[in-house]
Structure 1
Amino acid sequence: MKKLTAPVSRRLFLAQGSRATLAFGIGSSLIGTAFLHACGSDRSAEGGSSSLSTGYEQTPLAYAFDALEPHIDANTMEIHYSKHAAGYAKNLRDAVAEENVDTNQPLEEILMNVSNYSTKMRNNGGGHYNHELFWKHMRPDAPGSPEGKLAEAIDATFGDFEAFKTQFETAAATRFGSGWAWLVVDKNQQLAVGSTPNQDNPLMNLSDFQGIPLLGIDVWEHAYYLNYQNRRGDYVTAFWNLVDWEQVGSRYESLV
């Protein structure tokens, strides 16, 4: 991940310490404000999408559909990416046109204020954002565990990496019906694990679980059913073989 044009650091959070932090969502917290600033300033500075912000078009996969086998099979990947995720991207663009949204603002800003928009925007903006992060943070030759500052933060927060994995797997397994499990940086700049229903995510001001997403796993049945049937737990366990901890760690270091 390239260095942010406008660094997001503890100094920036402290410099903004006089701003109100008790509001309706993560976007009104110090870390949320700094995160949005980084997303927006990087886009305008370079005339494109930043390393932290998400665009409104579906990004091409960085690997082939069969590259994540045997953990995620090619058929599931192709259907998931080219049908489900593509549908969210298309419907998001429709919602953006219908609601006259300025696409020069990062999608993250819409999500942090999603209560101001339609259900269509909430469902499809969330679905698009969630999947874009999901594809980005998997890779075929993934490292087995995080290193550096993220590893230290995981140990400090959860006790050790195995304890974190257990908590994350529990969040994924106990999410009733369809949804996502997440590792986030919360408004206190601490790591936290939780889950959201449907295509909601922790950026949304309507979410019961809020933070800046570092890592998410899709636990909708379409993400795993062709290979794992009803064995969601096996799918979640296999997911650890695919997590690109270098990407997740770089994202974390950009925030703290």
Structure 2
Amino acid sequence: MSAPFSLPPLPYADNALEPLISANTLSFHYGKHHKAYVDNLNKLVEGKDLAQLSLEDIIKKSAGDAALVGVFNNAAQIWNHTFYWNSLKPNGGGKPTGAIAAAIDKDLGGYDKFKADFANAAVTQFGSGWAWLVSDAGVLKIVKTGNAEVPFTKGQKPLLTIDVWEHAYYLDYQNLRAKYVETLIDKLLNWDFANANFAG
């Protein structure tokens, strides 16, 4: 997909995550913030060679380029948000099954340690950003990124993410980022999505 980019549809109804994440939050987070990144990127690449590239290639080409920081921020935030929506599902969370479960046991010290470390990464990301479960050359790692940064620009393959920008949770959880993070891990993480990414 190249420009003009469009807002990808949510993988569920806007009320599907209630009461844990409200339709009101999604109306702002998806309908306003995510849409704004799409609109901004289309304006920034219009008439430029970048408009011929896929979203991932725009991110890779603009990463670390001071002249393209606006392009990177908007392109990466489109990608990050689409990935985040797919990292969640109704009645998700809890312990994973399949290959990802075995890899968490092998690489991250088991589910309980993963849960604590993933939550800690999300809670301690200073300011805006993301916590990620990634595969780094086949080894699972937990990383965090600031603002729009995305792990695949560093050769890491994202498997799951938690958005810790305030607009992701403030309407529902106010300043209680830790409660929001705990809720996602326990009740909303989409382990089917993580397994598909891990296998892909």
Residue 33 of structure 2 corresponds to residue 84 of structure 1:
yes
Q: In angstroms, what is the RMSD of aligned CA positions? A: 1.9
Question: Which residue is equivalent to 1:65?
Answer: 14
Question: Which residue is equivalent to 1:163?
Answer: 113
| Local SS of the residue matching 2:106 | helix
Aligned amino acid, residue 189 of structure 2: V
Report the structure number with the largest CA radius of gyration.
Answer: 1
Question: Which residue is equivalent to 1:195?
Answer: 144
Structure 2 residues without counterparts, runs of 5 or longer: none
Question: Which residue is equivalent to 2:99?
Answer: 149
Structure 1 residues without counterparts, runs of 5 or longer: 1-47, 50-54
Q: Give runs of aligned pairs for residues 99-248 of structure 1, distance below 5 A.
A: 99-103=48-52, 105-113=53-61, 114-116=63-65, 118-142=68-92, 144-186=94-136, 188-205=137-154, 211-240=156-185, 241-248=187-194
Deviation per CA, 1:59-117: give whole Å up to 9, x if none: 111222111012111111111000000001111222222542153x4322232332346
Question: Which residue is equivalent to 1:249?
Answer: 195
Identify the structure with the greater helix proportion: 2
Aligned amino acid, residue 27 of structure 2: E
Equivalent-residue separation in structure 2 for 1:182 and 1:248 (angstroms) = 11
Equivalent-residue separation in structure 2 for 1:171 and 1:244 (angstroms) = 18
| Local SS of the residue matching 1:118 | helix
Aligned amino acid, residue 232 of structure 1: R
Equivalent-residue separation in structure 2 for 1:106 and 1:168 (angstroms) = 30
The alpha carbon displacement at 1:201 in A equals 1.1
The question of whether the paired residues in 1 share the 8 Å contact of 2:93 and 2:184 is answered with no
How many corresponding residue pairs? 196
Equivalent-residue separation in structure 2 for 1:110 and 1:177 (angstroms) = 25
Aligned amino acid, residue 132 of structure 2: W
Identity score, percent: 40
The question of whether the paired residues in 1 share the 8 Å contact of 2:159 and 2:193 is answered with no
Equivalent-residue separation in structure 1 for 2:75 and 2:45 (angstroms) = 9
| Local SS of the residue matching 2:152 | coil
Q: What's the TM-score, normalizing by structure 2?
A: 0.90
| Local SS of the residue matching 2:6 | coil
The alpha carbon displacement at 1:124 in A equals 0.2
Moved over 6 A (4+): none
Equivalent-residue separation in structure 2 for 1:153 and 1:99 (angstroms) = 42
Equivalent-residue separation in structure 2 for 1:174 and 1:239 (angstroms) = 16
